[in-house]
Amino acid sequence: MATVTRADSAPPRSERRLSLQTFSAFQSRNFALLWANNMTFALSQSMRQFAFTWLALELFDSGQALGLIIFALGLPILVFGLPAGALADRIDRRLLLFASQVGGVAVTLLTAVLIWADVMTTGLTMALALALGATVAFGQPVRVAIVPSLVERSRLLNAVTLMSLSQNVSMIAGPAIGGAMIALGGVGAAFAGQSVLLGIGLIALLPLRVPSIDRTGPQRHLAAEVREGLAFVAGHPGIRTLMLVLMTTALVMAGTFMTLLPKIAKEDLNVGAFETSMFFTAMGVGMLMSSLLLASFSRLDRAGLWFIVTLITGGTLNAAFGVSLWYEASVAIMFATGWNAGFFTNLNLTLIQANTPHEVMGRVMSIYTLAMAGGMPLGGLLAGLMADVWGSREWFVACGLALVAIAIVVLFTQPSLRRMRSSGGEAPG
């Protein structure tokens, strides 16, 4: 097993200028191929939850069944996320990504066939949701972990942001495409469409070439390698703080938005389903625009400090949404929230990847995925309970103020994070 060391701390002098080449990472052919794969995967993902939700409503008309199916989609990430990351640092990453996506094609196609055959049951739906979730659990950490090995360090911020762009576009377009396919051909057509998208993504993986991981020493037990990944994160002050902040925001912001935003829209702002959907559209457009702007910069010397600023801004916007009494103002706040979230998510991931060595990247990315996947459902559960006890708006405001307080503590107690560069290491001073 290779000794885990921190990523290089001083970038070459040629990296010390800002670049306005928004799509410069595409100069790497292998990155362009991975981006194309990620685009099709992200579209299928955004269609997936919409299609499973609609399937549950059509077949079972039960809120309990719907909750179980959504839980089944996320459970494999919680169970297999860390072992999958260790596996990504042990075997050929391209092969693991290819195998996971082949599994996704098979599961989505089987789901479509069973729906068309009119034999779907609650048990089958749960099993298929678990299987599809497992393909994501093994594929997504390696998909993210590959990125730093395909581009120069000076282009990592640009590459991460371009990968995020595909997610932003998919968040806007995926549900619309899924809804159109359901309207035209039924819910089975939506799953067949996901299978086609994943199949197209496989074509992009065929010519992809991923540098091998430089490993020395005997191969150890998978559990030992998982522990090593956890130890690396715990031992790096900047990355440790970034992970804790990510989990906290998933807990008190993302989970709160997903759970209480529709409730506030319906009960307090007195708007319907379409108007509520515009909140998420506005947020997606905001993220898309800020990601495009951030992609214009090859690196930021004080990226860690800017990240803390986005945390303060996000908390302030969270509280502002809680006190907003007008629909139009609330939509504007959601756009601003998306704009800020584009900077927050891209800087968070870039700072983690730029300071993580390649030989442990898969394990660190699995922890990153787990922080989001674990924090959001728990945050949603907490938000639902607190809304009944305290009130939806009140909880929104409390969560926003809590984030601002956390950000101020981080600002004054984490000098290592404040100095972190987007290209690795720390800026002087």
Model confidence pLDDT, tens digit, residues 74-114: 788 888 888 888 887 777 888 889 999 999 999 999 999 99
**Confidence at 428, pLDDT banded by 50, 70, 90:** low
Which of the pair, 380 or 9, is modelled with greater confidence? 380
Tell me whether residue 321 is in a domain: yes
Task: Mark whether 304 and 386 lie in a shared domain.
Answer: yes
Tell me whether residue 270 is in a domain: yes
Contacts of 108 (CB under 8 A, 6+ apart): 44, 48, 132, 191, 192, 194, 195, 198
pLDDT above 60: residue 182: yes
Tell me whether residue 8 is in a domain: no
| Domain count within the chain | 2
Task: Mark whether 95 and 58 lie in a shared domain.
Answer: yes
Task: Mark whether 193 and 258 lie in a shared domain.
Answer: no
pLDDT above 90: residue 412: yes
Please write the tens of the pLDDT for every residue from 202-247. Answer: 999 999 988 876 655 566 677 788 888 889 999 888 899 999 999 8
pLDDT above 90: residue 167: no
Question: What residues make up the domain containing 247?
Answer: 226-419
CB 18 within 8 A of CB 39: no
Which of the pair, 373 or 289, is modelled with greater confidence? 289
The mean of the pLDDT values for the chain is: 83
Please write the tens of the pLDDT for every residue from 48-76. Answer: 877 887 787 677 655 456 556 767 777 88
Tell me whether residue 428 is in a domain: no
pLDDT on residue 105 = 96
Tell me whether residue 425 is in a domain: no
Which of the pair, 379 or 311, is modelled with greater confidence? 311
Please write the tens of the pLDDT for every residue from 315-336. Answer: 999 999 999 989 999 999 999 9
Q: Rounded to 5 degrees, what angle do the CA atoms 228, 229, 235 make?
A: 85
d(CA 122, CA 252): 32
Q: Rounded to 5 degrees, what angle do the CA atoms 418, 422, 426 make?
A: 45
pLDDT on residue 67 = 58
Q: Specify the CATH number for the domain of residue 365.
A: 1.20.1250.20
As a whole number, mean pLDDT of residues 338-358 equals 89
Task: Mark whether 172 and 69 lie in a shared domain.
Answer: yes
Task: Mark whether 241 and 162 lie in a shared domain.
Answer: no
pLDDT on residue 207 = 93
Per the structure block, which two tokens stand in for 299?
A: 């690196």
Domain boundary (209, 241, 272) is at 209
Contacts of 203 (CB under 8 A, 6+ apart): none
- Tally of CB atoms within 10 A around 381: 13
Which of the pair, 169 or 337, is modelled with greater confidence? 337
- Tally of CB atoms within 10 A around 110: 16
Highest mean pLDDT among 116-130, 195-209, 276-290, 372-386: 195-209
Closest CA to 158 of 39, 289, 300: 300
Per the structure block, which two tokens stand in for 407?
A: 């950000």
pLDDT on residue 214 = 63
Task: Mark whether 178 and 304 lie in a shared domain.
Answer: no
Task: Mark whether 98 and 153 lie in a shared domain.
Answer: yes
Tell me whether residue 9 is in a domain: no
Task: Mark whether 146 and 196 lie in a shared domain.
Answer: yes
Tell me whether residue 10 is in a domain: no
Task: Mark whether 188 and 274 lie in a shared domain.
Answer: no
Task: Mark whether 234 and 144 lie in a shared domain.
Answer: no
d(CA 45, CA 37): 12
